[in-house]
Amino acid sequence: MAGVAIRDVHKSFGPVKVIQGISMDIADGEFVVMVGPSGCGKSTLLRMVAGLESITSGEIAIGERVVNELEPKDRDIAMVFQNYALYPHMSVYQNMAYGLRIQGRPKAEIEKRVQRAAEILELDKLLKRRPRELSGGQRQRVAMGRAIVREPKVFLFDEPLSNLDAKLRVQMRSELQALHQRLKTTTLYVTHDQVEAMTLAHRMMVMNAGRAEQIGAPLEVYQKPATTFVAAFIGSPPMNLIPGRIAQGGKVLAHDGEISVRLPEPRPALEGRDVLLGVRPEHFETCAQSEALLSPDIDFLELLGSDSLVYGHLGADKQGMRVAARLHISILAKEGRLPLRFSAEHVHLFDPESTRRIED
């Protein structure tokens, strides 16, 4: 096994810059998830680590070896794609053994490695089947088994669960966690699904337009987003961001002064400064109208049983300031206003121009 170092990596297709100076050190045995919307560059970065895309500038090292000029086969990595890419005419055993046969490994070694991987992935009773005789989850396990038998230094996963249904994705996430705990192989995992990122990662890189917006542990990223992009991308529904200004005495006045909340501590250096007031939907709670900090007009509800998602707007313009709340109640009214309050300890402040977090 080995760590991975990504050092000021850039990638351009002609004049179009798709990766813009990303750096990250990934420790030996660490599980790192690169998450972001479609087109942010996460798969391109993974393919550069794999050697499937050239690097415009910068450096990638696996272990102590810089791999910029190495062919994929010489990088000691194994990659699992969104498409299972199994050979339909081969059995499960043959699919898993194929890469080792191409390498010229001894028959006894191939048998040992395939049987071990099959036991880890609970495929040992399916080795004689063809891919068409398997479920989607079983096919994905075969694709992972084909990677495991190579015993690489680094696993690379490119949205491997995207083709599975919701229930199977939950099952496969738990299997991936268990697999990593057993093998402890350095893993880079690409997804657009924030739930996958939050549940699988030791650390995550949130990407946007070819840049790393924030790198950190999942809870750290969720609780202290570095930018408004991270605040809006990580979390469902996303964080509410309301324009405001810091007034004297440590108060934040938002939505043209209709919302007034006093910060836990005065911030005299910030007085008079325009800010974006951030509040997570789950930090709202219902209250009497006299105690409300805001009273959005309800647009629609999502009654989920254990909790309810409420979407509404502030002010007369229905297309204006939108808010979302996650409440542990069943709301029966489908129209009207909903009095809400929140604690100042849950407030996040962002600079509206730079979009960066204003540190506590």
Q: Looking at residue 17, what is its pLDDT?
A: 93
Q: Give me the residue spans of the domains in the chain.
A: 4-226, 240-350
pLDDT score at 21: 95
Q: pLDDT digits over 21-41, tens only?
A: 999 999 999 999 999 999 999
pLDDT of residue 179: 85
Rounded to whole angstroms, the Cα distance separating 289 from 286 reads 9
Which stretch of 121-135, 155-169, 278-292, 346-360 has the lowest confidence by average pLDDT?
Answer: 155-169
Q: How confident is the model at residue 236 (pLDDT cuts 50, 70, 90)?
A: confident
- Model pTM? 0.88
Work out the pLDDT band at 331, boundaries 50, 70, 90: low
| 249, pLDDT greater than 90 | no
Minimum mean pLDDT range among 20-34, 132-146, 306-320: 306-320
Q: How does residue 289 score in pLDDT terms, banded at 50, 70 and 90?
A: confident
237-264: average pLDDT: 87
Which band of pLDDT confidence, cut at 50, 70 and 90, is reported for residue 301? confident
Q: What is the pLDDT of residue 222?
A: 96
Task: Answer yes or no: is pLDDT of 327 > 90.
Answer: no
In this predicted structure, the answer to whether residue 135 has a pLDDT above a threshold of 90 is no
4-226 topology per CATH = Rossmann fold (3.40.50)
Highest mean pLDDT among 92-96, 122-126, 249-253: 92-96
Are 227 and 214 in contact by the 8 Å Cβ rule? The answer is: yes
Q: Where are the alpha helices (DSSP H) in the chain?
A: 42-50, 92-102, 107-120, 136-148, 166-183, 194-200, 218-223, 228-233
pLDDT of amino acid 350: 96
Q: What is the pLDDT of residue 333?
A: 57
Q: What is the pLDDT of residue 317?
A: 66
Average pLDDT, the chain: 89
> What pLDDT does residue 183 have?
86
With a pLDDT cut of 90, the percent of the chain lying above it is 55
Mean pLDDT of 258-274: 85
* 322 contacts 279 by C-beta, under 8 angstroms: no
Can you give the pLDDT at residue 171? 83
| Rounded percentage of the chain residues whose pLDDT exceeds 70 | 96
pLDDT for 2 beyond 90:
no
Range 45-48 contact pairs with CB under 8 angstroms and sequence separation of 24 or more: 45/6, 45/9, 45/11, 45/19, 45/207, 46/156, 46/158, 46/188, 46/190, 47/158, 48/9, 48/11, 48/19
> Which of these, 248, 237, 256, 259, lies nearest to 324 by C-alpha position?
237
Residue 318 pLDDT > 80: no
**Residues 79, 185 contacting (CB under 8 angstroms):** no
pLDDT at 337: 83
